[in-house]
Amino acid sequence: MGCLKSNPAGPTTYTYLSFQKEAAALTKISDLMDMELLAKHVAERTVNVQSHPESQLRIANYTQRAQFSGAWDEVTMQCRGLIFDADSLEVVARPWRKFWNLGDVRFPETLPENLPATPPAITRKLDGSLGISYVLAGSQRVATRGSFISDQSAWATEWIQRNHAQIAIPDGWTALWEIVYDDNRIVVRYAWEGLVCLGLVKIDTGEEMQLDAAKAWAESQGVRYVESFDKPLAGLADEDEDNEEGYVATWVREGAPPLKVKIKYATYVQIHKILTGTSIVGVWELLRDGRDLSALKTGVPEEFCAWLDGLEARLLGEYRDLEQRALAAFHAYPRQVDDPKNPEQRKQFAAYAVEQKGLTPLLFTLLDGGDIGPMIWKTIRPRGDEGTFKKDEE
């Protein structure tokens, strides 16, 4: 067991059994990054470190602030669900570094002319949440990219404990999963639920296990492994397929993290942008401006259409309710106003208007012959923290 497997088409690779027999090297988070720079990122809220509720484990993850500001360096790119012990600083689970779309001009390594000449491994890009295996008190657990206790983490942990409680992940390696279940759907609807192994990462070096060895390990454990394809990189960007996300291209590098790029289908990108980029405030803005929402409903899941219809009905209902209340209160004013600018008449109206809770500015606008529509829309504006239809934790 643990013997070399010859690969005439490329470098020598190992079966998963040889990885299992390696002595796991103790790796500290300080071996992977500058701790002062990590502290700086935490202080600047570009990295968040969450505590495990039952142990001294911590999980470090880049934040939306890092994404929006482009604060990418050796710390933020590695803090993508990195799990370590707060006392010993030992890294207990290491996911892939942050990686990018093919041809992202911000990152020269993704440009086609800069990619390695050797062909990459091509695997299916799945549309769920990244799961990161770790062990606590002898029990298999799964974290998501930024949390030990997210809904996806709880679902994945329950699933792996129920279906693969005795799974043997090679010492010194981290198994990475796609968490797929109906309530976690982003865009793609799958006909199954479960965890799919995406690969294994060596904790001390960050290198990824070769595709054949990783598939052999998954097969030995009875777990599903991500679909792979024997096709060239050229042309993948021109493909498009309904109800799929795209591909991941991986160049494994011995003793170092792999080079990985994402290739996403155009249709997926369009729908994903609508689902994760359409906020409640954004819908409010469209309705306020008199825009038609039908353009958002093309090719999207039924759940989104139902959410959009419900939100539209809610906001328009709030608008009509406030409008009707204001008009009713205005017409119920018992005195005659011949001249809205007359100080005495205005004073009498003001005494009435302030008694109409929440309607005073609207009543004065009606008194002056103005349009209360803009004021109503401003009044019913949703809170900014109500978010979007979907939040993708990729």
Q: Half-sphere exposure (CA, 13 Å, Cβ side) for 145? A: 22
Q: Which of 359, 361, 362, 367 lies closest to 340, judged by CA?
A: 367
The confidence score (pLDDT) of residue 371 equals: 96
The predicted-structure confidence for 219-243, as pLDDT tens digits, reads as follows 999 999 999 999 999 999 999 999 9
Residue located via tokens 């796991």: 24
> What is the overall mean pLDDT for the chain?
91
- The answer on pLDDT for 14 being more than 50 is no
pLDDT of amino acid 7: 39
For the chain, how many helices (H) and strands (E)?
13, 16
Taking 3-state DSSP, the helix, strand and coil percentages for the chain, each rounded to the nearest 5, stand at 40, 25, 40
pLDDT of residue 92: 97
Per-residue pLDDT reduced to its tens digit, 367-388: 999 999 999 999 999 987 678 8
Nearest to 132 by CA among 124, 123, 141: 141
* Under 8 Å between Cβ of 213 and 84: no
Q: What percent of the chain has pLDDT over 70?
A: 93
pLDDT over 80 (residue 306):
yes
Look at 62 and 341; give whichever has higher pLDDT: 62
Tens-digit pLDDT profile for residues 84-142: 999 999 999 999 999 999 999 999 999 999 999 999 999 999 999 999 999 999 999 99
Read off the pTM: 0.79
Nearest to 90 by CA among 55, 42, 53: 55
What pLDDT is recorded for position 186? 87
pLDDT for res 9: 37
Instruction: Return the amino acid letter for 38.
Output: L
Give me the mean pLDDT over the 165-183 stretch: 96
Check residues 64 and 93 and name the one with the higher pLDDT: 93
Q: Of 135, 273, 131, whose CA–CA distance to 198 is shortest? A: 131
What are the φ/ψ torsions at residue 125 (nearest 5 degrees)? -90, 115
- Residue 4 scores a pLDDT above 60: no
Rounded CA gap, 94 and 205, in Å? 10
Contact 197, 218 (CB under 8 A): yes
> 372 near 323, Cβ under 8 Å?
yes
Average pLDDT over residues 175-201: 95
Cα–Cα distances (Å) from 108 to 112, 196, 280, 347, in that order, read 9, 30, 36, 68
pLDDT for the residue 25: 62
Q: What is the pLDDT of residue 144?
A: 97
Q: How many C-beta atoms surround the C-beta of residue 102 within 10 A?
A: 19
Check if the beta carbon of residue 81 is closer than 8 Å to that of residue 132.
yes
Q: Strand ranges (DSSP E) for the chain?
A: 4-5, 13-14, 47-51, 57-62, 80-85, 91-93, 100-101, 121-125, 129-136, 139-144, 173-180, 194-202, 224-225, 228-229, 246-253, 256-264
**pLDDT tens, 240-286?**
999 999 999 999 999 999 999 999 999 999 899 889 889 999 999 99
Average pLDDT value for residue range 344-350: 93
Boundaries of every domain in the chain: 98-269, 279-386
Of 390, 187, 386, nearest in space to 280 by CA? 386
The answer to whether residue 1 scores a pLDDT higher than 50 is no
For residue 56, pLDDT beyond 70: yes
Which of 54-58, 182-186, 206-210, 330-334 is least confident?
A: 182-186
Place of tokens 């591909």: 247
Cα angle 223, 261, 47; round to 5: 85
CA distances to 113, 279, 301, 305 from 295, rounded to whole Å, are: 37, 15, 14, 11
Helix axes 343-353, 360-367, angle to 10 degrees: 150
**Which H or E element spans position 155?**
helix 151-163
pLDDT of the residue at 393: 58
pLDDT tens per residue across span 145-157? 999 999 999 999 9
* pLDDT for residue 46 is more than 60: yes
Provide the token pair at 44: 């600047």
Note the CATH architecture for domain 98-269: 2-Layer Sandwich (3.30)
